[in-house]
Chains A and B, each alone.
Chain A
Amino acid sequence: MSRILCVSICSVNNEPLFLQNFDNTDLLQCHHLMYSSLDVVLELAKKADMIFQSRGRYLGEIFPFDDQKIYGYITPTNKKFLLMASKSIPEQQQLENFFKEFHRLYVNHISNPFIDCERKIDSPSFIEKVTALVSETNKRI
């Protein structure tokens, strides 16, 4: 049974806007892995000419590292969502659903007029919702 270890959002300039680790994973390692996989995301997106497609694009598994696997998703406005899982997840459909829901949570959070799009996300309700989504998805993968 695979578990989601870490979820992150990176902005257009590759700044981390949000990074949440679950299951007491090492935070530093999460940062390190997420950052290393950003290069691959950019490459994949360019290769398939995916930058600025009109819908969010699921990029699949982008970085295998020991046992952890990293999956990526890029939004039409070039924000990157990354997910780190403990083992390889065979059901891609579940991951696509996860990213779509995550995108929806992000858009709803951004619609708050007091929130700046470029700043780090540290709203407790957003973190709560993401945690709920992750535990929901953990049951299905």
Chain B
Amino acid sequence: MVNLFASTSETPEQAMESIERIGFRSGEKFTEKLFFDQPPTSFQANRVGISSFLRHSFWPIAFKGNATILAGSYENMFTIEDTDFIWTRSFSLTGYSKSNLQLYLQYSCGMIRGAIKQLGYRAKVTGSCQSSPKHCQFVIEIS
């Protein structure tokens, strides 16, 4: 999917936006279904609640892994870190550049943004890779 958008879009920014938008829509529907099928045990719709929802309910089911939450520098910003991100797990360790990799993370950024939107907040999500492709960090800014 990433290759299709990368090759058919006029600019790389456009490709990123399209992939992110697709992720956004699937994130919305995913959260609706999640709340219906497997509602989290306790949930509050404030900023703390969102990060704990993402870490405990959303991440294990959507991305089948564990995530840790790091507090950000501002009050409405936090980072989710996943050391074994499922979709970049099998990427090779050499021969990639950070900007290329970001394209592959855009779908997940969109999913997170869609989930937060269903909870009533707008967010801006940026994904990046740290030391290796499978160690990913998503910076989430909630407005």
Contacts and interface: CB of A to CB of B under 8 A. Distances in A.
B33 A111 contact: yes
Contacts of B6: none
Interface of A: 12, 51-56, 75-78, 103-104, 107, 110-111, 113, 116-117
B26 A54 contact: no
Contact of B42 (A12, A54, A116, A117): A54
A76 B31 CA distance: 10
Contacts of B41: 54
A104 B26 CA distance: 18
B25 A51 contact: no
Interface in B35-62: 35-36, 39-45, 49
B35 A54 contact: yes
Contact of A113 (B26, B33, B43): B26
* Secondary structure class of chain A's binding surface, majority of residues: loop
Interface string B4-44: 00000000000000000000011011011101100111111
* Secondary structure class of chain B's binding surface, majority of residues: helix
A52 B39 contact: no
A56 B26 CA distance: 21
Contacts of B39: 54-55, 76
Contacts of A110: 29, 32-33
10 contacts: A53-B43, A54-B35, A54-B43, A75-B35, A76-B39, A76-B43, A77-B119, A107-B32, A110-B32, A117-B28
Given A75-B32, A113-B25, 14 more contacts: A12-B120, A52-B43, A52-B45, A53-B43, A54-B42, A75-B36, A76-B39, A77-B31, A104-B36, A107-B33, A111-B32, A111-B33, A117-B25, A117-B32
Nearest to A111: B29
B130 interface: no
A78 B21 CA distance: 22
Interface string B92-119: 0000000000000000000000000011
B35 A116 contact: no
Contact of B32 (A51, A77, A113, A116): A77
B29 A51 contact: no
Contacts of A77: 31-32, 35, 118-120
In this complex, the member of A75, A76, A113, A117 whose beta carbon has the largest number of chain B beta carbons within 10 angstroms is A76
Nearest to B53: A54
A1 B38 CA distance: 36
A81 to B, nearest CB: 13
A107 B36 contact: yes
